[in-house]
Amino acid sequence: MEKPKPSLLAVAITLGGIALLAALVLSVPALREAVEAAIRGDTAEVRSELDSLGIAGPLIILALALIHAVVFYPAEIVDAAAGFVYGFFPALVLTMTGWLLSGLLCFAIGRSLARPLLDRWFGTERFERTEAMIERGGVTLLLAVRLIPIVPFSLTSYAAGAARVPVWRFTWTTAVGYLPITAISVYFGTRLEGLSLTDPLVLGSAAALLLLLFVGHRIARRGTATTSESA
């Protein structure tokens, strides 16, 4: 069945939102520097920027999460920096709010943006494979792809939007599935000053991360196999 094509208005609004994000990055020096540091993988610099901003720091966290919709960098950098500056629970609430908003933005882009642009952005074969996997995999696969740290957060959100996943299902599976990896990253951030490989909590977090990677990978492979058999 052919998917409904987006209206010109939807495309214009989406592209306008992307342009607004780009303008925001360029116009706010602290945000621009934080984005550049995140792209470089410089956790210390992101942490320094947040620490120097005081009350404006949480807004930068939210802005960085939204910008991740169009500028890809390791999300764990922002999680760890937030954990270091704000502590575990405040940082976890803040970063999860940011990633939910970012995921919903990507979802909206995937649902409304002209398909040729998405294919060109990610590669036609890769995007279609991800979209088909999510379309056929249901709730289980939506949760699984959030558990795997190496699966791009934005790509799966775009694909879920393009596959017309119900918005409520997308929202709750993102919140539940992305919480473990975010909590682990934030916790590591809280331990950056005195990080010790013998700390039981650090060892437990590392083991949990490996377990998430293993479980998520197994579920995703099963979903991919099911998709291939159904094709």
Domain ranges of the chain: 8-230
What is the pLDDT of the chain when averaged over all its residues? 75
Other Cβ atoms less than 10 A from the Cβ of 172: the count is 14
Q: Helix, strand or coil for residue 41?
A: coil
- pTM for this entry: 0.74
pLDDT tens string 96-141: 999 999 999 889 888 877 566 667 766 777 777 777 777 776 787 7
pLDDT tens string 47-93: 777 877 777 788 888 888 988 888 888 888 889 889 988 889 999 99
Task: With beta carbons less than 8 A apart as the criterion, state whether 118 and 208 touch.
Answer: no
Looking at 41-114, list the stretches that DSSP marks H as alpha helix, in order from N- to C-terminal side. Answer: 43-53, 57-67, 75-86, 88-112
Quick one: pLDDT at residue 64?
Answer: 86
227: pLDDT strictly greater than 50:
no
